[in-house]
A and B are shown apart, each in its own frame.
Chain A
Amino acid sequence: MIRTEEIFFRIGTFQLQRLSIEIATDQYFVLLGPPGSGKTIFLECLCGLKKVNSGRIYIDGREVTALEPRARDIGYVPQDYALFPHLSVEQNIAFGLRVHGHQHKETKAKVTETADLLGIQHLLSRGIDGLSGGERQRVAVARALVLQPKVLLLDEPVSALDEVTRQDVCVQLLRIQRHLNLATIHVSHNLEEAFSVADRAAILHQGILQQIGSLDELLRRPNSEFVARFMRCENIFCAEVVGQGAQGSNTKVKVGDIQLQVSGQHSGKLTFMIRPEDVLVCPGSQYDEKGGNAFVAKLVRSRDCGGYVKVELDGPLNLVAHITAGRFAELQGEHHPDVIAVLGPENIHVLPR
């Protein structure tokens, strides 16, 4: 388990501001954020490669804030892997064991065991030059794991890999984390990566922890416009409460020329969001004027994104929706100029002020 209490670190004009985080022993935690948000600096503070100005760091209940990096029981894989180019794969993996004075036989056994775990035994005799990106990544992870650390810190471990290798490596990282039951912090700016491994995640922006929780919470209940946009929600609008909804638990809001029902009780001005995949798009012929949060819109642009089709709707609200290829074909076959956008009140999330 790793826990930080109000970590503060300043370098130049950049500050990591009072970061408190707790990651359980069996948890795979993903720290998300745009480039320059302070993710790498945060990891370096945890490693002891940067000395925090204030705050505390605990690993398995032991305070390590003032300890040197070597005394923290942390396995660290930097962004470019930093494999030692003057050593072979085997020597790279054995590096930490040799530093700790392990016997040759014991070192060999541990290196073999770790290489087996990562499926890189065939690489042991090779040099670093000529290894592929995926192989380098696995060697770097093996080098970090061979010392059996209490926490594994991965700084953008798959960002340099191609799409297919990235997915394979993410699956492997999660398998290893589960196998070793190891608190893991994985830094990334890629949402797909986070979805493939994360038990929990946090979003960091300009050195400030914006939100921490499950990916579903970050996705559907963001606490700020920044988090919503980072989680790729483009449907964010400002509105004003105009009264009580049809059901007592709803609120009626005015946005542009239309009125919508949103779940919950609200007052004054507010900002709300709706995820693109929660926008229901129906053929124009199915329009029912009595519908609640439904309005007519024009489909102005579409893009096939592989698993779904992204459509842009022009109407009282300019919306982005993700629909299935089947639904898109249905809309195309209608020869009707308009479509109907339906927003379920329960899917409309009002952002905290």
Chain B
Amino acid sequence: MKVVSNIPVRGWRDRVFAAATFFFVCVFIIFVLTLIITDVFYIDKEAVITVLTSKFIRHALWMSTWTTFVTTFIALLFAVPMGYALSRFRFPGRIVADAIVDLPIVFPPLVAGLTLLVFFSQTALGKWIQEDLGIEFVFQPKGIVLCQFVAAASFAIRSAKTAFDDVSQRYENVALTLGCTQWGSFRRVSLPLARNGIIAGGILTWARAFGLFGPLMIFVGSFRGRTEVLSTTIFLEQSVGNLEVALAIALLLIFVALIAVTGIRLVSGSAQVKL
């Protein structure tokens, strides 16, 4: 057992303060758990069997899983260099670029779906990509990834920028004098030091993509066995009156999300308690 030796001596006011903060933690967690438990008690055995045996739901789970991981991977591919550039380099229009990165966080997710649909169906460039290049996104699985990327990548970019902001430039400067190129100092020093922030951004991106619903309905629809993901399956099931099945899928979605987020945290080591 680790001996915690860095806790200061606390008076009663400190204990009251700690208890007050803990109170809010408890209220929130109890609230969320109550909602989940309500769902658990609402669903019946048949709904669970339906969820576990339906090939369409299995397909939706698979679609949700692979599309969100691909989206997160592509988002991080953009986020790391973009976060570094926005953090380290001063260039004309940097403030505007920084604001544009945040736009998808601010506007309603539905707008992402609408905008993508208009772009690919109404503009010459969009039509050229779809028709001449043959890369089809509208009502296609590829469109799920694109839609998730537009709606969620900003979280990864913002987190990466903040993570690089927190890495002192002095580390890179020393690395340069020790023989590194700028790329070398980035790879050997800045990237490892920004790792936890980048992973946190990845988790946020994944979570946003995993729960995305509105823009997917508009841009790719929800075709059974084709472009259906878990979030749209819930909508489909409840719209035809299968509320128990919809809630059972929601619980499956929560379960997968919990495993994924906890797993990533454990693998990255960011869940370690630093004494």
Question: Which A residues have a C-beta under 8 Å from some C-beta of B?
Answer: 44, 47-49, 68-70, 72, 74-76, 78, 80, 82, 84-86, 95-96, 99-100, 143-144, 147
How far apart sit A144 and B177, CA to CA, in the bound complex (Å)?
9
Could you list some 8 contacts between A and B, CB below 8 A? A47-B176, A48-B176, A49-B177, A69-B177, A70-B179, A84-B175, A84-B193, A143-B178
Task: Kindly list chain A residues whose C-beta atoms are within 8 Å of the C-beta of B174.
Answer: 76, 78, 82, 84, 143
How far apart sit A315 and B253, CA to CA, in the bound complex (Å)?
89
| Cross-chain contact A95 with B173 (CB below 8 angstroms) | no
Q: Which of A44, A47, A86, A99 contacts B180 (CB 8 A)?
A: A99
| Cross-chain contact B178 with A70 (CB below 8 angstroms) | yes
Task: Kindly list chain B residues whose C-beta atoms are within 8 Å of the C-beta of A74.
Answer: 177
Q: Does B252 contact A (CB under 8 A)?
A: no
Task: Kindly list chain A residues whose C-beta atoms are within 8 Å of the C-beta of B192.
Answer: 86
Interface stretch (choices B72-80, B89-97, B181-189) = B181-189
Contact-residue size bin, chain B (C-beta under 8 Å from the other chain): 10 to 19
Interface residue ranges of B160-214 to A (CB < 8 Å): 168, 170-171, 173-181, 184, 188-189, 192-193
| Cross-chain contact A78 with B179 (CB below 8 angstroms) | no
| Cross-chain contact A84 with B180 (CB below 8 angstroms) | no
| Cross-chain contact B179 with A85 (CB below 8 angstroms) | no
Minimal Cβ-Cβ distance residue in B for A76: B177
Most buried by A among B168, B174, B179, B189: B174
18 more A-B residue pairs beyond the given contacts A47-B177, A74-B177, A99-B180, with a C-beta to C-beta distance below 8 A = A44-B173, A47-B173, A47-B176, A69-B173, A69-B176, A70-B177, A70-B179, A70-B180, A70-B181, A76-B173, A82-B173, A84-B171, A84-B175, A86-B192, A95-B178, A99-B175, A143-B178, A144-B178
How far apart sit A239 and B180, CA to CA, in the bound complex (Å)?
58
Q: How close is A74's CB to chain B, nearest CB, in angstroms?
A: 6
Q: Which of B175, B177, B184, B193 contacts A85 (CB 8 A)?
A: B193
Most buried by A among B175, B176, B179: B179
Interface residue ranges of B139-171 to A (CB < 8 Å): 168, 170-171
- Lowest 10 CB-CB distances: which A-B pairs, in order? A96-B178, A99-B179, A82-B170, A69-B176, A76-B177, A70-B179, A82-B174, A69-B177, A86-B192, A49-B173
Question: Which B residues have a C-beta under 8 Å from some C-beta of A?
Answer: 168, 170-171, 173-181, 184, 188-189, 192-193
Q: How close is B129's CB to chain A, nearest CB, in angstroms?
A: 41
Known contacts A86-B193, A99-B184; A78 and B176 CB within 8 A of each other: no
How far apart sit A281 and B175, CA to CA, in the bound complex (Å)?
55
Q: Which of B168, B171, B173, B179 contacts A96 (CB 8 A)?
A: B179
Known contacts A78-B170, A82-B170; A68 and B193 CB within 8 A of each other: no
| Cross-chain contact A75 with B177 (CB below 8 angstroms) | yes
| Cross-chain contact A99 with B170 (CB below 8 angstroms) | no
Task: Kindly list chain A residues whose C-beta atoms are within 8 Å of the C-beta of B178.
Answer: 70, 95-96, 99, 143-144, 147
Task: Kindly list chain B residues whose C-beta atoms are within 8 Å of the C-beta of A44.
Answer: 173
How far apart sit A168 and B5, CA to CA, in the bound complex (Å)?
30
How far apart sit A85 and B171, CA to CA, in the bound complex (Å)?
9
Task: Kindly list chain B residues whose C-beta atoms are within 8 Å of the C-beta of A86.
Answer: 192-193
How far apart sit A69 and B178, CA to CA, in the bound complex (Å)?
8
Task: Kindly list chain B residues whose C-beta atoms are within 8 Å of the C-beta of A143.
Answer: 174, 178
How far apart sit A351 and B113, CA to CA, in the bound complex (Å)?
78
How far apart sit A155 and B74, CA to CA, in the bound complex (Å)?
42
Minimal Cβ-Cβ distance residue in A for B192: A86
Task: Kindly list chain A residues whose C-beta atoms are within 8 Å of the C-beta of B193.
Answer: 84-86
Known contacts A70-B178, A100-B179; A78 and B189 CB within 8 A of each other: no
How far apart sit A175 and B110, CA to CA, in the bound complex (Å)?
69
How far apart sit A75 and B184, CA to CA, in the bound complex (Å)?
18
Q: How close is B139's CB to chain A, nearest CB, in angstroms?
A: 46
How far apart sit A76 and B174, CA to CA, in the bound complex (Å)?
7
Q: How close is B116's CB to chain A, nearest CB, in angstroms?
A: 39
Known contacts A99-B184, A99-B188; A82 and B168 CB within 8 A of each other: yes
How far apart sit A68 and B181, CA to CA, in the bound complex (Å)?
8
How far apart sit A316 and B98, CA to CA, in the bound complex (Å)?
67
How far apart sit A254 and B178, CA to CA, in the bound complex (Å)?
59
Q: How close is A220's CB to chain B, nearest CB, in angstroms?
A: 37
Q: How close is A299's CB to chain B, nearest CB, in angstroms?
A: 48
How far apart sit A82 and B170, CA to CA, in the bound complex (Å)?
6
How far apart sit A85 and B175, CA to CA, in the bound complex (Å)?
13
